[in-house]
Structure 1
Amino acid sequence: MRAFLIAVAAFAIASCATTTDSGGSGEVRSITMEDEPCFGFCPVYRITLTPGDAYVLDGQRHTATQGISEGQLQTGAFAAAVQALETANFRSLPEDLTYNNPAACPGPQISDMPHTRVTVEYSNGTHSVHHYHGCSSPDMRGLRETLRGLVEYDTRIRPQN
C-alpha cells in the first residue's frame, strides 16, 4: 500500500510539471503577442496563451473578432509555443528591436510596417521584445510566424474579406 501511495504522489507531482525554456531560466507561465497599428488596416490585437492551451484574445481593430474572447487552442499549442521561444533564444533577444535601437536594427528600414511585442512571463520574471517588422531579425520573425500559426491567426485574428 505504501508503494502505491508513493507512486500516486510521484504521478501527481509529475502531472503538475510545466514546460520550461532552455537554460533553466524559469517556468513559462504565459506568452502574450500583440500587434500594434501600422499605416493601413493591420490587425491590432493582443492574445495571451497559457498552459493547458487556453487563450484570451483582445481584438481591438481590424480583426475578425472584436473585443475579448476566450477559448482553447489545439492540444500541444502552448508546448509548441514554448519550443518556438527556445528555438529563437527569446530570452537572449534585446528588448528593443526597432529603429530606435540602431545596434539591433541598422538601417535602412522599410517604413509603414507594424510592430509586434512578445512578452513572456516566467516563474522568475518577464522578458518582452518589441519588434518593428521593418527591422531584420530572423529569430523574431520566425517566432512571430510560429506563434501566428499556433493561434490560427488567419482565421481567428485576420479579418475575412
Structure 2
Amino acid sequence: MNMDFYRKLAIPLEVKEMFPITRKISETREQKVLELKQILDGRSDRMIFVIGPCSADNEDSVLDYISRLVPVQEKVKDKIMIVPRIYTNKPRTTGDGYKGLLHQPDPNEKPDLFKGLITVREMHMRVVNETGFGCADEMLYPENHKYLDDILVYVAVGA
C-alpha cells in the first residue's frame, strides 16, 4: 500500500492544549454525563433522545438547529434528555465521496485531517458553550475519540 504523508498529525494532548476547553464546558459535560448515567442506571425515569441530522458539516447551521432545541428541552426536561447528534464523519463503503467535516472541513478544498480535527473540536465546544447541551458524535475511527473525550457525552460506534 502506498501512502503519501504531508505532515505529522498532532497527538490528542497537543490538540487539547492548543484548543483547551473552558471550565464551563468541563462542568456542563460532567453534569450531562451524570444525567446520562442516572437514566441508563435506572435512577431516573427520563428517556434519552439522541437527535439531529445525519451529517454536521456547517457550523452555523448546526448551531442554529441546536439552539432551536433549547426551548424544546426546557419543555420536556422532566421526561426527556435531549443529546444533540453532531456527526462529523460520513461512512463510505468504497472510500469515495465526501467523508465529512473531520476529513474535509471545507468541501471545496482538499481533505485535511488536522484542520478537520480542529474544526470539529471547536464546533463541539461552541455547541456546549452556547447551548448548554452535551454533544453526541459518531466515531468511525476509535482513535479520534481521544481528540474529543473531554467534550462529548455520548459516542456512537460508526458503521
TM-score range, shorter chain: under 0.3
Instruction: Return the index of the structure with the highest Cα Rg.
Output: 1
Higher helix share: 2
- With normalisation by structure 1, the TM-score equals 0.25
